[in-house]
């Protein structure tokens, strides 16, 4: 598949449109605005995208502003969409090639030329290619193992297994209007024989075990807990997960395969609370099944879940802002959709990948780059995945659960 519009053109259009808002006058502590050339929200210093007059206009007179939301509430839509428009941050861009159209840079020589983005030091210099400890996993090692995982995914869909109708591509600035620009479903055809494969079947069995609304505690039956174990058991039989375990074992992250499996179960399936009730969410539910919080869809980054819900008439595909460069599966799509009455402004997902492939890459990034952007390589194309840790509770010896994981940029 190809990008729906040339990325350089998309960036230039975004720059022209955003040029109207380059000051924090009357904008102090507003919410993130992807249509603006620079930001005035409380996180702009962290992300390095503040307007030049932010400190002068906002930092003294507005100290009693609303508290910052938790990381998992840091709207994936804002982070993902911003990376497909004009970037002013190194989020997902560490050590990328020089691009004259960018306002600031994140390449290895930006410090020499004095044109680094403000968050270069915090996001890039302590990882992605620079190892500061003997057990650090380098960017090159992550890219190498991600290519091995890509090649090992023999359970992925073939070209003839999926007919996709992506229809209308829109600009990032158009995602807020919640318009349905695609009269037909995203999936014209899927060969459902894929779903009889052991890992697909075990994955699908898990999807109906959750309540999508946060604030309602999850209570698993013995059968549902057994389905979690069955899924882990099946994916560990695959070449994809064997590659991942072998890599992490070699990196001294796990002493045995059983230790690895136990950790995967805790980090992905361990319950925590996003709402008012104890144990109403998990990394697996959020990323693969999807949740609804405060009237918005959160998570929901899986093509199989999307297809099954669309087939039942519960998902209405609206549009997309990005279609990846891969000419075979797995591919990447960043899309907008309505899930049974709730809108997803930007949801990125692999298309045509096996469950073990996604599970492996997200796990790799969470283990190697927890809470950071993780630079991968798939079939020779770059891909970035962002993970967040759940910081309010832990398991084991202070280990953290997955709050979310999703694709933030590609080619």
Mean pLDDT, contiguous 10-residue spans, the chain (411 residues): 44 36 75 74 70 71 34 49 61 69 75 75 53 65 97 97 96 91 97 98 96 88 97 98 97 95 97 85 96 94 98 97 92 96 94 98 97 94 94 91 88 45
196 in a domain, yes or no? yes
Do 31 and 146 lie in one domain? The reply is: no
Do 123 and 169 lie in one domain? The reply is: no
42 in a domain, yes or no? yes
And the tokens for 232?
Answer: 């882990």
67 in a domain, yes or no? no
5 in a domain, yes or no? no
pLDDT score at 4: 58
Residue by residue, DSSP assigns 308-355 as HHHHTT-EEEEEEEEE-S-SSSSEEEEEEEEETTEEEEEEEEEES--H
And the tokens for 122?
Answer: 């915090």
Determine whether 344 is an active site residue: yes
The C-alpha atoms of residue 13 and residue 117 are separated, in whole angstroms, by 21
Determine whether 401 is an active site residue: no
- Of 301, 320, 400, 401, which is the active-site residue? 301
Structural domain ending residue among the three candidates 129, 154, 180: 129
Structural domain ending residue among the three candidates 96, 129, 162: 129
List helix spans (H) across 188-333: 198-207, 222-235, 239-250, 257-269, 283-284, 303-311
Hey, which residues does 319 pair with through a beta bridge? 336
Reduced to 3 states (helix: H, G, I; strand: E, B; else coil), residue 246 is helix
Do 40 and 91 lie in one domain? The reply is: no
The C-alpha atoms of residue 358 and residue 118 are separated, in whole angstroms, by 32
pLDDT score at 66: 32
108 in a domain, yes or no? yes
pLDDT score at 115: 80
Do 125 and 270 lie in one domain? The reply is: no
Nearest of 322, 352, 350 to residue 335 by alpha carbon: 322
Hey, which residues does 390 pair with through a beta bridge? 401
pLDDT score at 217: 85
6 in a domain, yes or no? no
Do 47 and 104 lie in one domain? The reply is: no
- Of 127, 286, 293, 372, which is the active-site residue? 286
Do 232 and 294 lie in one domain? The reply is: yes
Q: What is the DSSP letter of 128?
A: S
pLDDT score at 63: 33
- In contact, 10 and 85? CB cutoff 8 Å: yes
176 in a domain, yes or no? yes
Domains identified in the chain, total number = 3
- In contact, 357 and 349? CB cutoff 8 Å: no
Q: What is the pTM of this model?
A: 0.73
And the tokens for 71?
Answer: 């990381």
Do 122 and 194 lie in one domain? The reply is: no
**Residue 142, phi then psi, degrees to nearest 5:** -65, -40
> Which CATH number goes with the domain that contains 118?
4.10.410.20
Range of the domain at 223: 139-407
Determine whether 250 is an active site residue: no
- Of 47, 118, 293, 344, which is the active-site residue? 344
Do 197 and 248 lie in one domain? The reply is: yes
pLDDT score at 116: 83
The C-alpha atoms of residue 360 and residue 150 are separated, in whole angstroms, by 10
Do 206 and 95 lie in one domain? The reply is: no
Structural domain ending residue among the three candidates 78, 110, 129: 129
């Amino acid at each position: 598949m190809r990008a729906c519009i040339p990325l350089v053109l998309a960036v230039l259009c975004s720059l022209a449109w955003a040029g109207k808002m380059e000051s924090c006058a009357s904008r102090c502590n507003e919410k993130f605005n992807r249509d603006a050339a620079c930001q005035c929200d409380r996180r702009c210093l962290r992300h390095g995208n503040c307007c030049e007059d932010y400190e002068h206009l906002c930092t003294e007179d507005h100290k009693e502003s609303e508290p910052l939301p938790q990381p998992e509430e840091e709207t994936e839509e804002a982070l993902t969409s911003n990376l497909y428009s004009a970037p002013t941050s190194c989020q997902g861009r560490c050590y990328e090639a020089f691009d004259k159209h960018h306002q600031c840079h994140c390449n290895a020589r930006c410090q020499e030329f004095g044109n680094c983005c403000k968050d270069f030091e915090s996001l890039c210099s302590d990882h992605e290619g620079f190892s500061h400890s003997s057990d650090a996993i380098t960017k090159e090692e992550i890219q190498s193992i991600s290519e091995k995982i890509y090649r090992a995914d023999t359970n992925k869909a073939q070209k003839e297994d999926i007919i996709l109708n992506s229809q209308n591509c829109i600009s990032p600035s158009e995602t807020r209007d919640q318009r349905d620009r695609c009269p037909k479903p995203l999936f014209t055809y899927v060969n459902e024989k894929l779903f009889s494969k052991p890992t697909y079947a075990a994955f699908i069995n898990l999807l109906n075990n959750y309540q999508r609304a946060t604030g309602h505690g999850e209570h698993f039956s013995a059968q549902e807990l057994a389905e979690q174990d069955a899924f882990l058991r099946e994916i560990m039989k695959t070449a994809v997960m064997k590659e991942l375990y072998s890599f992490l074992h070699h990196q001294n992250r796990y002493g045995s395969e059983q230790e690895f499996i136990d950790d995967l179960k805790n980090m992905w399936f361990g319950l925590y609370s996003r709402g008012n009730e104890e144990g109403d969410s998990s990394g697996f539910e959020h990323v693969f099944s999807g949740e609804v919080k405060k009237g918005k869809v959160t998570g929901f980054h899986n093509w199989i879940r999307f297809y099954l819900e669309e087939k039942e008439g519960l998902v209405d595909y609206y549009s997309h802002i990005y279609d990846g460069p891969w000419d075979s599966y797995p591919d990447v799509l960043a899309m907008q959709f309505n899930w049974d009455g709730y809108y997803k402004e930007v949801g990125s997902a692999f298309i045509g990948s096996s469950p073990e492939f996604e599970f492996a890459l997200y796990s790799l990034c969470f283990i190697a780059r927890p809470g950071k952007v993780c630079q991968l390589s798939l079939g020779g194309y770059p891909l970035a995945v962002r993970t967040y840790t759940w910081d309010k509770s832990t398991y084991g010896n202070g280990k953290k659960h997955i709050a979310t994981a999703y694709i933030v940029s590609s080619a």
